[in-house]
């Protein structure tokens, strides 16, 4: 149904991902060590964009962290997952690429839009926290002087990367050889014959254990952009801090496995894993506010598909939504299309948590992806649930340790301003409206940042959203 739009979208995303990756090709010395992370030029951006999840001390304990699976990385105590070096220490370029391209299918969005210089300044902050954490841990073991310095360097200085063998052309033969190796090299023991994964494994991270799930590779949503280079690095070097092991396969075998893994990944699938920032075209709103999804004015706005980042990466039941926005100087009204296999509407006979959507609007440019209380002036926001709010005594509040649901979840917009919802054939169509105060409709020189979140009752998170979009700049075309 949405194929063409999806395809275009995929291409746009892949372009962004490739740009993000190629702009990092300029060689740069590995991040300076012994720097004070709090005094680095990148730290103010880190506080705004990264600390809500990674914490102001880089320990992974940001305000939003407890709602996220997997947890945001603790830079101080945990080996990074993605590296291309021989000693397993992520280089500046490795970290840069993660920041720019994000970690697919998780809440770690791509940050390429912050610009190359800013991303590099964030690399320095991450590396400085890594060094601090390693130093403090080693000091506690009693090491001092040169011994300490050598040990710190061993944990924090990336070694050069030995070149990967050159990639032969991908053919049916190389891929079939890869299938044989998939069994012989032991991939099958964790990933399964059909690569559907699912097994939960226990990993040792930062002194504590955590569970890591073997991914279903056939969904095509990989953590790293699945370029041949990245896949070869993962298969050769493993994934830091997880059970995914390194291998010592020779060149042809390594590439055969890469070619086989490539055949598992559906074309364009990665696009739904990476919410990217960008423009959101809207049409001009005149007359009464539309309240029904059948209002004919929505049909005139092209639908924009927004991939969503999940709060829990293992529940991607709603991974993208389509939006059709109308805007005036006083309001933004959207029709939001949510493909959702389950219709969850609380009623007298069912105390299911409701499906729903939330919309936030702010004049701030490039707001933090997960704003924390008091950090950002939200111009307005609205929440629409398909039914009443879950009770405050809902077990989910207690289970999530959520102290003040009323303050966070209650809709700010009066009911009159939120529209209605219909559910037909596995798809919700909601209407949601927020009030704005602008001198004219948002335009290229005065855009409004908007972001959406989705609630999915069957995810059993009560009134907490299950996924969110990146910020988009809403612009009414002249």
Residues in the site for ligand HEC, rule: CB under 6 A? 49-50, 52-54, 64, 68, 70, 72-73, 80-82, 90, 95, 98-99, 103, 106-108, 111, 122, 126, 185-187, 189-191, 201, 212, 214-215, 217, 222-224, 231, 234-235, 239, 242-245, 247, 257, 261, 369-370
Residue 75 beta carbon to ligand HEC: minimum distance, rounded to whole angstroms:
7
User: Nearest 5°: CA angle at 363, between 414 and 65?
Assistant: 80
310 pairs with which residues across the strands? Answer: 467
Closest approach, Cβ 230 to ligand HEC, in A, equals 7
**From residue 53, how far is each of 234, 282, 312, 371 by CA, in Å?**
25, 31, 14, 10
Q: How far is the CB of 466 from ligand HEC (least distance, A)?
A: 14
Burial class (CB in 10 A: 0-12, 13-18, 19+), 13: buried
Q: How far is the C-alpha of 290 from the C-alpha of 186, rounded, in Å? A: 57
User: Least separation, in Å, of the C-beta of 350 and ligand HEC?
Assistant: 31
Minimum distance between the CB of residue 233 and ligand HEC, rounded to whole angstroms? Answer: 10
Between CA 289 and CA 296 the distance in angstroms is 12
Q: Name the residue nearer to ligand HEC (CB basis): 214 or 361.
A: 214
Q: Minimum distance from CB of 357 to ligand HEC (Å)? A: 18
Taking residue 208's Cβ as centre, other Cβ atoms within 10 Å add up to 10
* Smallest separation (angstroms) from ligand HEC to the CB of 380: 22
Which pair of structure tokens corresponds to residue 77? 């105590």
User: In the complex with ligand HEC, which residue's Cβ is closer, 174 or 328?
Assistant: 174
Tokens 């800013």 correspond to 118
By beta-carbon proximity to ligand HEC, the closer residue of 9 and 277 is: 277
Q: What is the DSSP letter of 382?
A: E
Name which of 239 and 409 has its Cβ closer to ligand HEC.
Answer: 239
Alpha-carbon distance of 209 to 153, in angstroms, equals: 25
**Which CB sits closer to ligand HEC, 234 or 331?**
234
Choose between 369 and 453: whose C-beta lies nearer to ligand HEC: 369
Taking the least distance from each CB to ligand HEC, the nearer of 241 and 419 is: 241
Are 475 and 442 in contact by the 8 Å Cβ rule? The answer is yes
Q: Does the N-terminal peptide bond of residue 344 adopt cis geometry, omega within 30 degrees of 0?
A: no
Could you identify the residue written with the tokens 């310095």?
149
Alpha-carbon distance 232 to 238, whole Å? 9
**CA-CA-CA-CA dihedral for 1, 340, 280, 326, to nearest 10:** 90
Tell me the closest approach of the beta carbon of residue 251 to ligand HEC, in angstroms: 14
In angstroms, the CA 104 to CA 108 distance is 7
**3-state SS assignment for residue 327:** strand
* CB of residue 408 to ligand HEC, shortest distance in Å: 16
Tell me the closest approach of the beta carbon of residue 7 to ligand HEC, in angstroms: 23
Task: Give the span between the Cα atoms of 313 and 369, in whole angstroms.
Answer: 16
Instruction: Give the closest residue to 411 by CA, choosing from 437, 436, 432, 438.
Output: 432
| 387 neighbors 354 (Cβ within 8 angstroms) | yes
CB of 201 to ligand HEC, least distance (A): 5
Taking the complex as a whole, the smallest distance from the CB of residue 19 to ligand HEC amounts, in Å, to: 17
CA distance 37 to 121: 11
| Strands (E) located in 200-294 | 200-205, 208-213, 278-284
- C-alpha distances (whole Å) from 30 to each of 130, 146, 365, 463 are 13, 21, 31, 44
Q: Where are the beta strands (DSSP E) in 278-330?
A: 278-284, 304-307, 309-310, 320-327
């Amino acid at each position: 149904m949405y194929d063409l739009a999806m395809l275009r979208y995929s291409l746009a995303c892949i372009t962004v991902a490739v740009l993000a990756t190629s702009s990092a090709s300029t060689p740069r010395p590995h991040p300076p060590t012994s720097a004070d992370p709090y005094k680095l030029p990148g730290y103010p951006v880190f506080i705004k964009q990264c600390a809500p999840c990674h914490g102001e001390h880089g320990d992974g304990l940001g305000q939003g962290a407890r709602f996220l699976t997997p947890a945001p990385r603790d830079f101080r105590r945990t080996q990074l997952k993605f590296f291309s070096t021989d000693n397993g220490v992520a280089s500046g370029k490795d970290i840069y690429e993660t920041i720019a391209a994000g970690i697919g299918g998780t809440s770690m969005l791509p940050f390429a839009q912050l610009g190359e210089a800013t991303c590099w300044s964030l690399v320095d902050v991450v590396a400085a926290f890594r060094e601090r954490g390693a130093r403090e841990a080693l000091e506690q073991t009693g090491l001092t002087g040169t011994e300490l310095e050598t040990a710190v360097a061993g944990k924090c200085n990336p070694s050069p990367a030995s070149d990967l063998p050159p990639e032969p052309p991908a053919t049916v033969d190389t891929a079939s050889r890869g299938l044989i190796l998939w069994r012989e090299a032991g991939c099958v023991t964790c990933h399964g014959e059909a690569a559907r994964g699912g097994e939960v494994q226990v990993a040792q991270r930062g002194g504590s254990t955590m569970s890591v799930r073997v991914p279903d590779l056939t969904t095509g949503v990989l953590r790293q952009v699945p370029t041949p280079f990245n896949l070869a690095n993962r298969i050769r070097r493993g994934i830091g801090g997880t059970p995914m092991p390194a291998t010592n396969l020779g060149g042809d075998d390594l590439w055969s496995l890469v070619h086989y893994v490539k055949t598992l990944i559906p074309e364009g699938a990665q696009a739904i894993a990476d919410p990217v920032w960008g423009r959101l075209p809207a049409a001009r709103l005149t007359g009464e506010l539309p309240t029904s999804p059948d209002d004919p004015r929505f049909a005139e706005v092209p639908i924009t598909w927004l991939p969503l980042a999940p709060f829990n990466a293992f529940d991607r039941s709603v991974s993208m939504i389509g939006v059709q926005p109308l805007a005036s100087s006083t309001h933004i009204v959207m029709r939001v299309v949510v493909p959702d296999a389950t219709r969850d509407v609380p009623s007298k006979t069912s105390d299911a948590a409701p499906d729903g959507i939330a919309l936030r609007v702010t004049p701030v440019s490039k707001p933090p992806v997960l704003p924390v209380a008091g950090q950002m002036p939200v111009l307005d926001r609205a929440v629409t649930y398909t039914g009443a709010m879950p009770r405050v005594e809902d077990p989910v509040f207690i289970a999530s340790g959520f102290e003040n649901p009323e303050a966070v979840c209650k809709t700010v917009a009066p009911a009159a301003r939120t529209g209605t919802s219909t559910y037909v054939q596995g798809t919700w169509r909601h209407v949601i409206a927020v009030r704005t105060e602008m001198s004219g409709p948002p335009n290229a020189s005065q855009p409004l940042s908007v972001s959406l979140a989705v609630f999915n009752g069957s995810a059993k998170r009560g009134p907490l959203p299950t996924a969110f979009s990146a910020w988009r700049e809403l612009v009414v075309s002249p």
